A and B are shown apart, each in its own frame.
Chain A
Amino acid sequence: MSDQNGFEPRIVAFLCNWCTYTGADLAGTSRLQYPPNVRIIRTMCSGAVDPVYVLKPLLDGVDGVLICCCHPGDCHYQTGNYKARRRYVALQQILKAAGFNEDRVWLRWISASEGQRFADTITEMVTSLKELGPNPARQIWAV
């Protein structure tokens, strides 16, 4: 699993209870293989993921944050994922402007039936974060 330098990215993933959380469960019960680098937090809706929850682990040194939502039009609460999308767009802009690498924060639509898509997303994100290298915030205590 490790790259040459032994760097294993750590990912915090916020999974919507109604879609991706079940999708991740499906990936497990279907015995799909994906890297064990992700720590999952279940949320009731991606619309409830305040930017502060994304920023806190990033500044503490986590290498990537993943927000998973129901596909557009499929939100259990009608519109939470559309609002999450706008908040994500704003967050990306702010991260970029403040000199943080916005590529460490991903948003993906993954439904309850898409276990494979969840496994693929984690694999893809781990590969991408390995290319980016460790989050520099890991070393900075004065934040």
Chain B
Amino acid sequence: MLGLIPVENSNSLDALRGFLRHLLESGLVEALYLPMEIDGGAVVPALVVEPEQVAHANPLAPAMSINGARAVSALTGKRAPARLAVVLRPCELRALIELVKLQQASLEDVTLISLDCPGTFEWTDFIEVQRSGNLDLGAYLDAGSRGEVLASPALRTACQMCTHPIPEKVNIHLRLFGADLSKGIPVELDDGIADLLEMVEADEVNPAGRETIINSLLAKREQARTRELEQMQTRLGADGGFAEVFSSCIRCYNCSTACPVCYCKNCLFRTSAFDHAPEHYLNSAHLKGATRLPGDTILFHLTRLNHMGVSCVSCGMCTSACPSEIPVGVVFSLIGGQVQQVFDYLPGRDVSEPLPLITFQVNEWTEVGEKK
């Protein structure tokens, strides 16, 4: 059902807080996972059980300190211990679906809340505008609802090239695109939830306007994506291109820590498997004349591509986390996307769709394994 969260005094954030608070007070859920404002200007995700605390919630802030899928994995495990609602951006939601398939999170007793996502700033940019008091949330949302962006700060690269800014298959969907947020926040929600919250059915304010805004936004994003991917394709196509892109990697593992779907509980690269006897390094140097330390950097990135490239949701948290400013996310979007295409798979599309690498068909790629 389509409803409208009424907005007073053009304060859409307060209206949304009231709506979310009602979820707790009505007993629909016992706990809420959502971004909260804290001292110092940061907006960080938290698990909230006390309705009063929702006064500090801010799911509309253009920031993403982590991809929340990992957090929801921690909160739910095999099954959430209470009725839980989680507010996630579309890319977080898609990553969560992948984690559910990997049996590292559960949707049982979980109410999914998401929003049309206008995009997020780099974390440091966000903190800077917050601390200097220069963030005009209203202006950001106003531009966002029209499919536009503020002049500065720029959105994260991943957001600029995001072609899935609209959530699918959620219980509560805040439809920001095309909305006049100074008057109300259109919300699409499950009938059961609408009944419980006593929401009244509202007419779509301007369906044609929404459609036009979405189409032009997607066209812009598609264009940016194609440009980024083509540039990366050219870089990788050069001799030794892959090694060149990752040449400045300092092996901090930030990319795999920030990645919501890098799913191994114990990453092989952070075990003793790569701790060798001192002689090993000398032998290795003798083989090629020299050996890089720490070694196996390209191996690390290629292995990660093999392990989770097929589930990459292009959230770009790896790029944001990289201290060497390597466009890790673009590489993964490009190569991961190609692997996804091979298996006709879109990560996060549908929880019932099996992961390509744990399923198979008997009659596929029948040329593989035979004499060429």
Interface residues of A (CB under 8 A from B): 51-52, 55-56, 59-61, 69, 71-73, 79, 82-83, 85-91, 93-94, 97-100, 107-109, 124, 136, 138-143
How many CB-defined contacts (below 8 Å) exist between A and B? 118
Q: Smallest CB-CB separation from B361: which chain A residue?
A: A82
Q: Report which residue of A52, A59, A61, A83 has the largest number of chain B beta carbons within 10 angstroms of its beta carbon.
A: A52
- Give the most central of A79, A98, A140, A142: most B CB within 10 Å: A98
Given A89-B342, A139-B288, CB of A83 within 8 Å of CB of B369: no
**Which residues of the other chain, A, contact B299 by a CB distance below 8 angstroms?**
52, 55-56, 59, 143
Contact of B291 among A85, A90, A139, A141 (CB under 8 A): A141
Instruction: Please encode chain B, from 233 to 270, with 1 for each CB lying within 8 Å of some chain A CB and 0 for all others.
Output: 00011111111000100000000000000000000100
Knowing A61-B288, A86-B356, A140-B288 are in contact, say whether A98-B236 is a contact too (CB < 8 A).
Answer: yes
A-B contact pairs, 17 of them (CB 8 A): A51-B302, A55-B303, A59-B302, A82-B362, A83-B360, A86-B365, A87-B357, A89-B342, A90-B310, A93-B339, A93-B342, A97-B236, A97-B338, A99-B241, A100-B242, A108-B370, A140-B243
For B233, the closest partner residue in chain A by CB is A97
Identify the B interface with A (CB < 8 A). 236-243, 247, 268, 284-285, 287-292, 295-299, 302-303, 305-307, 309-310, 334-335, 338-339, 342-343, 356-362, 364-365, 368-371
In the complex, what's the smallest C-beta–C-beta distance from A89 to chain B, in angstroms?
A: 6
In the assembled complex, how far is the CB of residue A51 from the closest CB belonging to chain B, in whole angstroms? 4
Are the C-beta atoms of A140 and B240 separated by less than 8 Å? yes
Question: Complex: how many Å from CA A52 to CA B305?
Answer: 10
Contacting residues, chain A, for B268 (C-beta < 8 A): 52
Q: Which residues of B contact A59 (CB under 8 A)?
A: 296, 298-299, 302
Known contacts A52-B303, A142-B243, A143-B296; A98/B360 CB under 8 A: no
| Bound form: Cα–Cα A142–B334 in Å | 24
Q: Could you tell me the distance in whole angstroms from the C-beta of B346 to the nearest C-beta in chain A?
A: 15
Separation of A90 and B357 alpha carbons in the complex (Å) = 9
A91 to B357, CA, bound (A): 11
Q: In angstroms, how far is the closest chain B Cβ from the Cβ of A123? A: 12
A89 / chain B contacts, CB cutoff of 8 Å: 342, 365, 368
Q: Report Cα–Cα, A89/B306, bound state, in Å.
A: 10
Chain A min CB distance to B125 (Å): 31
B229 to chain A, nearest CB (A): 11
